[in-house]
Amino acid sequence: MTIGWSSEARRSLRAIRRYIAQDSEFYAARMIARIIERVERAALAPGQGHPVHEYPEEPLKEVHESPYRIIYQFSDAEFRVVTVVHFKDRLERKRLNPGLSVSS
């Protein structure tokens, strides 16, 4: 299965890295690696994620890599990371439909 990262998801990862790196480059890199590893695990069984409660009408699922929510959608051929949000942040609809860039 191909894993795709939307431009919004990539922006989220960069922002997470920048924020954590203010205190520790080591922990910033470690958190990003944990998020990527969680995405790779979720892509193996994408149907096991939880529905996104804010938008039950959308074909979205989520998995967690504390303290972040990884929002995604999937088909038989592709696992698409839509965005990554902190547990305390509100998930705004504008973050759900950005462009896609494929990797992996």
Q: Is residue 27 part of a domain?
A: yes
Longest dimension (CA), the chain: 40
Give the structural domain span for 20: 2-95
H helices of 1-104, in order, are 7-21, 25-44
Number of structural domains found in the chain: 1
- Is residue 68 included in any domain, yes or no? yes
39-43, 55-59, 61-65, 83-87: the lowest-pLDDT one: 55-59
pLDDT for 104: 41
In tens, the pLDDT along 4-27 reads 999 999 999 999 999 999 999 999
Contact of 63 with 56, CB cutoff 8 Å: no
Can you give the pLDDT at residue 103?
45
Q: What is the pLDDT of residues 31-60, one digit of tens each?
A: 999 999 999 999 999 999 999 999 888 889
Residues paired with residue 61 on neighbouring β-strands, in sequence order: 51, 72
Which pLDDT belongs to residue 20?
A: 97
pTM comes to: 0.89
Phi–psi pair at 59, nearest 5 degrees: -80, 60
CATH number reported for the structural domain that contains residue 88 in this entry: 3.30.2310.20
Determine which of 6-10, 75-79, 94-98 has the lowest per-residue pLDDT on average: 94-98
